[in-house]
């Protein structure tokens, strides 16, 4: 049984966790020894017993210390073995003291035997490895090296209190490869972004431009992305010709998450030129599903849209021409059959002496009808042939000095019978002198006859047609043909000079080829002149002819009357 005094000291020197404070216990005992010296003679037996008990206590303390050390070493070994990184401890001369399994795996090279006391730095250098311990690096600074088998290792070492070193090794081969792959992907992405032939962009939902590649910068007329981003404030208001297109664009994105081939008319942002584009876009969201920005592509399609418009116009023009030619052919069937039927019918009556041998006056009248029908038929055929020549560019001119005054008077005389038959007043208000005109006389006469015949044709009974002529202030010959006819609607006015097209057949006689005005305009233009039509529905029409001053020849006659 333990001495009561020793038990008291032991209790006082023992902490709550059972740890014995040896220094404190020894102090207690030293004091007891001093007391014991005073009473040695009376306590020899007790001190001997206490010494034995103290020896046993020291043995127990040593056993507890060894157990704690073993436990600590086990925890340390478990800790370093659980590390995925290599771990090693070196002394002050970089000789290997301890290491974990990961360290063995990292340096599992042929003929490299790891053992305590190994001069690791020198061994690595002799094996042809880099300085794996990183001795030239400051403590806490990463060192990096590559192994012979292509792996990349990173090492970090720190000094210990005893002057040695603790080093941690990490295999970063996969990390390096990933970084290189990411860098290559970023380079490829940047190359695609910058070198793409179509515009690529990133924009915010509130209409700010965030990114733009070179193609989009160029499309908007800027020199650099920075210049464009600084200039664009609100895409919806500044870019789209119709701002509603931006709202439609956003509605589609919110509904579907993407937009494909949305065509819009926009402004080339810097120059404000209007162009057409086709857009594709998609939403980019964050981890919480919130919209971060829009990304998309822009391709200019102005040329395609112009081609489509031109194709549509050509289609409409072709359809209109086809309809006009169909109408022309339908009309020609009447224009050709009517005079031919008359010619055949009257000629058969005369041939067969239907009214006997003595009905000379009646036969003469029929012959006159045959002549009139033949003349009309010839005029129709001539119009068709003349238009064909004009279209083929084969209408020749035989220019000579022509008297406009005489030609106008002749044409009025030729048209007078038709005007009289329709009870239309036909007159000519001409000055006593007009300069001579260098022109093709036949073509000049054909122009006048076509226009006069048209005026009479579209003027109702009791109406009036009259001709004026003179020299305008700029020196050109100007001829005006007025009528009080039905006039021309704006719709018909737009296509007035197209071949094979007539005015509204429901409002006038549907006679003729519909080529008269087209031929007249081509003949006037061939003389470097100009033809203009001014008309009011229900009130009449004025056709103005102008021939340039360089074609006029002044003769030794009274001064001309100017027309203004």
**183 occurs within a structural domain:** no
Please tell me the chain's helix, strand, coil percentages from 3-state DSSP, rounded to the nearest 5: 50, 20, 30
φ/ψ of residue 341, rounded to 5 = -60, -40
Residues 410 and 496 in one domain: yes
Bridge partners of 166, per DSSP, are 89, 158
- pLDDT (tens digit, 9 = 90+) per residue, 28-57? 777 777 776 666 655 555 556 666 666 777
**347 occurs within a structural domain:** yes
**Per-chain mean pLDDT for the chain:** 81
Cβ contacts of 478 within 8 Å, gap of 6 or more = 469, 470, 471, 472, 544, 545, 546, 563
Q: 61-75, 343-357, 379-393 — which one is most confidently predicted on average?
A: 343-357
Asked which of 26, 50, 80 is the last residue of a domain, the reply is: 80
Q: How far apart are CA 150 and CA 180, in angstroms?
A: 15
Say if CB 366 and CB 345 are below 8 A apart.
Answer: no
Reading the block at residue 339, the tokens are: 């005079």
Q: What's residue 505's pLDDT?
A: 44
Minimum mean pLDDT among 39-48, 120-129, 344-353, 485-494: which range? 39-48
Minimum mean pLDDT among 146-155, 280-289, 360-369, 376-385: which range? 376-385
Among residues 268, 207, 269, the alpha carbon closest in space to that of 233 is found at: 207
Three-state secondary-structure class, residue 173:
helix
Among residues 546, 408, 541, the alpha carbon closest in space to that of 478 is found at: 546
Residues 405 and 537 in one domain: yes
Of 549 and 518, the one with more pLDDT:
549
Distances (CA, A) of 227 to 215, 218, 233, 266, 269: 14, 11, 12, 19, 12
Question: How many residues does the structure list for the chain?
Answer: 564
Q: What's residue 392's pLDDT?
A: 64
- pLDDT (tens digit, 9 = 90+) per residue, 217-264? 999 999 999 999 999 999 989 999 998 999 999 999 999 999 999 999
Residues 407 and 552 in one domain: yes
- What's the farthest any 2 CA atoms get from each other in the chain? 202
Residues 420 and 473 in one domain: yes
Tokens 């790891």 -> residue: 114
**135 occurs within a structural domain:** yes
**494 occurs within a structural domain:** yes
CATH number at residue 110: 3.30.450.20
Residues 76 and 90 in one domain: no
CATH number at residue 465: 3.30.565.10
Residues 548 and 405 in one domain: yes
**315 occurs within a structural domain:** yes
Rg (CA), the chain: 58
CATH number at residue 368: 1.10.287.130
Q: What's residue 507's pLDDT?
A: 44
**327 occurs within a structural domain:** yes
Residues 450 and 429 in one domain: yes
Of 69 and 285, the one with more pLDDT:
285
Query: DSSP labels for 314-353?
Result: HHHHHHHHHHHHHHHHHHHHHHHHHHHHHHHHHHHHHHTT
Output the CA angle 553-441-429, nearest 5 degrees.
Answer: 70
Asked which of 146, 176, 206 is the last residue of a domain, the reply is: 176
Q: Range of 377's domain?
A: 307-387
Reading the block at residue 515, the tokens are: 């080529």
Residues 234 and 119 in one domain: no
Q: How far apart are CA 98 and CA 439, in angstroms?
A: 119
Q: Is the pLDDT of residue 381 over 80?
A: no
Residues 511 and 553 in one domain: yes
Q: What's residue 561's pLDDT?
A: 41
Reading the block at residue 171, the tokens are: 């295999």
Q: What sign results for the dihedral spanned by CA atoms 490, 494, 498, 501?
A: negative
pTM, 2 dp: 0.43
Residues 348 and 428 in one domain: no
Alpha helices in 393-515 (DSSP H): 404-421, 441-457, 490-493
Asked which of 387, 411, 434 is the last residue of a domain, the reply is: 387
Q: Is the pLDDT of residue 558 over 60?
A: no
**291 occurs within a structural domain:** yes
Residues 415 and 501 in one domain: yes
Task: Count the domains in the chain.
Answer: 5
Q: What's residue 544's pLDDT?
A: 94
Q: Is the pLDDT of residue 508 over 60?
A: no
How many Cβ atoms are within 10 Å of 261's Cβ, its own excluded?
9
**61 occurs within a structural domain:** yes
Residues 208 and 124 in one domain: no
Q: What's residue 275's pLDDT?
A: 94
φ/ψ of residue 393, rounded to 5 = 70, 30
């Amino acid at each position: 049984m333990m001495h009561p005094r020793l038990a008291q000291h032991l209790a006082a020197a023992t902490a709550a966790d059972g740890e014995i404070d040896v220094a404190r216990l020894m102090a207690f005992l030293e004091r007891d020894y001093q007391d014991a010296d005073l009473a040695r003679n009376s306590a020899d037996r007790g001190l001997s017993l206490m010494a034995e008990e103290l020896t046993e206590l020291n043995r127990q303390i040593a056993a507890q210390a060894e157990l704690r050390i073993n436990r600590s070493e086990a925890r340390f070994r478990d800790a370093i073995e659980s590390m995925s990184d290599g771990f090693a401890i070196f002394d002050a001369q970089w000789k290997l003291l301890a290491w974990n399994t990961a360290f063995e795996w990292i340096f599992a090279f042929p003929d490299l035997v790891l053992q305590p006391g190994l001069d690791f730095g020198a061994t690595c250098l002799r094996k042809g490895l880099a300085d794996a311990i990183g001795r030239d690096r400051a403590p806490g600074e990463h060192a990096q090296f590559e192994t012979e088998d292509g792996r990349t290792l990173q090492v970090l070492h720190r000094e210990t209190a005893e002057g040695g070193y603790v080093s941690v090794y990490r295999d970063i081969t996969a990390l390096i490869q990933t970084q290189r792959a990411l860098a290559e992907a970023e380079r490829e992405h940047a190359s695609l972004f910058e070198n793409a032939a179509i515009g690529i962009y990133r924009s915010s939902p509130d209409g700010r431009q965030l990114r733009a590649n070179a193609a989009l910068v160029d499309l908007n007329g800027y020199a650099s992305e920075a210049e464009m981003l600084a200039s664009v404030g609100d895409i919806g208001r500044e870019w789209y010709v119709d701002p509603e297109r931006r709202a439609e664009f956003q509605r589609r994105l919110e509904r579907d998450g993407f937009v494909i081939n949305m065509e819009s008319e926009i402004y080339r942002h810097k120059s404000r030129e209007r162009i057409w584009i086709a857009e594709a876009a998609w939403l980019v969201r964050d981890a919480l599903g919130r919209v971060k920005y829009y990304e998309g592509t822009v391709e200019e399609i102005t040329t395609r849209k112009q081609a489509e418009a031109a194709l549509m116009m050509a289609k409409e023009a072709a359809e209109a021409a086809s309809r006009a030619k169909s109408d022309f052919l339908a009309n020609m069937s009447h224009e050709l059959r009517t005079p031919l039927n008359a010619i055949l019918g009257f000629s058969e009556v005369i041939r067969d002496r239907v009214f006997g041998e003595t009905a000379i006056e009646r036969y003469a009248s029929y012959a006159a009808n045959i002549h009139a029908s033949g003349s009309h038929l010839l005029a129709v055929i001539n119009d068709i042939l003349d238009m064909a020549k004009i279209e083929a560019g084969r209408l020749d001119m035989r220019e000579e000095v022509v008297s406009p005054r005489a030609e106008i008077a002749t044409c009025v005389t030729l048209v007078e019978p038709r005007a009289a038959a329709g009870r239309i007043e036909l007159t000519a208000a001409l000055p006593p002198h007009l300069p001579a005109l260098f022109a093709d006389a036949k073509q000049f006469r054909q122009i006048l006859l076509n226009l006069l015949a048209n005026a009479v044709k579209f003027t109702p009974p009791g109406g009036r047609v009259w001709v004026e002529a003179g020299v305008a202030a700029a020196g050109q010959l100007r001829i005006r043909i007025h009528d009080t006819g039905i006039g021309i609607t704006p719709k018909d006015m737009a296509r007035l000079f197209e071949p094979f097209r007539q005015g509204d057949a429901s409002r006038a006689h549907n006679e003729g080829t519909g080529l008269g005005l087209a031929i007249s305009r081509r003949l006037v233009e061939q003389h470097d002149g100009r033809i203009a039509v001014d008309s009011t529905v229900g009130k009449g029409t004025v056709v103005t002819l102008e021939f340039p001053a360089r074609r006029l020849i002044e003769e030794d006659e009274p001064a001309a009357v100017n027309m203004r």
